[in-house]
């Protein structure tokens, strides 16, 4: 009987471990120091994961330089769907992640302890100045409770210094392009609480050359890591509102451009500022064209 109890206890301890030594995925934990196992995974602390099933993402209204908003939105939805479609058995984990129709004004990763928030996805063109490293295509920042490991907020920042971003066809990319779905599927893994894996074909493998699309499709190692994180039911209540409510812009970011006192979310600032100039040039061309015509045909009248 005693040996059975011992076996049961060992089994329980094994089940609670962030990962077993035979697997290659790593999971984020609340322990921030270097206390790695032989595979480089941090073993101490609570697992960092979402507890709420309903999560809303917000796209920064400045969007991407290379891709129009509908294509960016499609890439985000496809990337997160890859993870949401994982069935860990018994209908778990049943996430409901959606991309808000309304954009937000937020190019920063942030979490306001006392105010509204947004799970931001933003293309950032001063990546290094913001304190993130220029060698990364993107970074995902998660905010969590140190006590429980529950994720409160997740932000994805895409490095605009890497260009061009595109959506490659399923047959593969051509040239030096970066497939946005490939990048975002990897980052979505971090968003859910996965760290890097040592399995080369895995989405969570830490290397990704340009032109790669393999990370769009999850590897069994990714699914095992995801299911190790979400083997327990999530909270039953569903609310898409972030902690503190939904922020339409983040602290420290410039307000969106306004026109006649109203928010003008559509169209870029640059395009808007050029339109009057283009109109003046057009009028000038008409006027000059008319003058030349009159000079060539002095008798003609409009």
Partner 1 sequence: MRLPGGRLTSRAESAQFERVIQRLLGLSFASVLLLLFAFSEQAEGAASEALTLEELIDRADCIAHVRADAARSRYDGRRIVTEVDLSVERPIADISSRRKLRLLVPGGVVDGIGMRVEGAPRFRSGEEAVVFATETERGLRTVGMSQGVFPVEARGEARLVHPSGRGLALYRRGPNGRLMRSAGAIEAPMPLEAFIARIEKSLEPR
Query: Binding to partner 1 by residue 235, rule CB under 8 A?
Result: no
Any contact of residue 199 with partner 1 (CB under 8 A)? no
Q: Which is nearer to partner 1, 14 or 113 (CB)?
A: 113
Question: For residue 65, how many other CB atoms are within 10 A of its CB?
Answer: 12
Residue 215 CB, shortest distance to partner 1, in Å, is: 11
CB 68 within 8 A of CB 218: no
Q: What is the CA radius of gyration of the chain?
A: 25
Nearer Cβ to partner 1 (92/125): 125
Q: CB 302 → partner 1: shortest distance, Å? A: 15
Quick one: three-class SS letters along 75-135?
HHHHHHHHHHCCCCCCCCCCCEEEECCCCEECCCCCCCCCCCECEEEEEECCCCCCCCCCC
DSSP lists the bridge partners of residue 259 as 262
Among 133, 255, 262, 276, binds partner 1 (CB under 8 A): 133
Q: Given candidates 135, 171, 258, 260, which one binds partner 1 under the rule CB under 8 A?
A: 135
Tell me which residue of 204, 192, 164 sits closest to 85, measured CA to CA: 192
Q: Which stretch binds partner 1 (CB under 8 A): 56-64, 91-99, 217-225, 284-292?
A: 284-292
Pairing status of strand 54-59 against strand 258-259:
unpaired
Q: Give the interface with partner 1 as residue ranges (CB under 8 A).
A: 26, 28, 30, 32-36, 40, 48, 65, 108-111, 113, 125, 129, 131-137, 139-147, 152, 160-163, 176, 190, 195-196, 206-211, 250-252, 270, 274, 277-278, 281-282, 285, 288-289, 292-293, 296, 298
């Amino acid at each position: 009987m005693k040996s059975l109890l011992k076996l049961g206890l060992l089994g329980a301890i094994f089940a609670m471990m962030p990962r077993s030594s035979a697997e290659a995925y790593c999971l984020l934990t609340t322990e921030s120091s270097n206390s790695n196992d032989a595979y480089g995974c941090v073993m101490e602390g609570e697992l960092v994961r979402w507890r709420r099933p309903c999560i809303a993402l917000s796209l920064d209204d400045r969007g991407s330089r290379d891709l129009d908003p509908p294509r960016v939105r499609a890439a985000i939805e496809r990337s997160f769907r890859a993870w949401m479609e994982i069935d860990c058995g018994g209908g778990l984990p049943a996430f409901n992640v959606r991309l808000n129709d309304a954009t937000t004004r937020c190019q920063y990763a942030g979490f306001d302890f006392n105010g509204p928030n947004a799970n931001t996805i933003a293309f950032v063109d001063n990546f290094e100045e913001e304190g993130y490293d220029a060698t990364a295509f993107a970074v995902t920042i998660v905010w969590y409770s140190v006590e429980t490991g529950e994720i409160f907020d997740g932000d994805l920042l895409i490095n605009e210094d890497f260009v061009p971003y595109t959506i490659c066809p399923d047959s593969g990319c051509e040239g030096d392009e970066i497939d946005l779905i490939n990048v975002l599927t990897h980052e979505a893994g971090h968003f859910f609480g996965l760290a890097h894996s040592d399995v080369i074909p895995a989405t969570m493998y830490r290397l990704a050359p340009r032109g790669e699309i393999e990370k769009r499709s999850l590897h069994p190692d990714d699914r095992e890591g995801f299911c190790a994180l979400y083997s327990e039911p999530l909270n039953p209540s569903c609310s898409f509102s972030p902690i503190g409510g939904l922020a339409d812009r983040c602290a420290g970011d410039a307000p969106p451009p306004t026109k006649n006192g109203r928010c003008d979310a559509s169209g870029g600032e640059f395009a808007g500022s050029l339109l009057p100039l283009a109109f003046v040039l057009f009028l000038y061309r008409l006027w000059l064209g008319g003058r030349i015509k009159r000079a060539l045909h002095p008798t003609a009248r409009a």
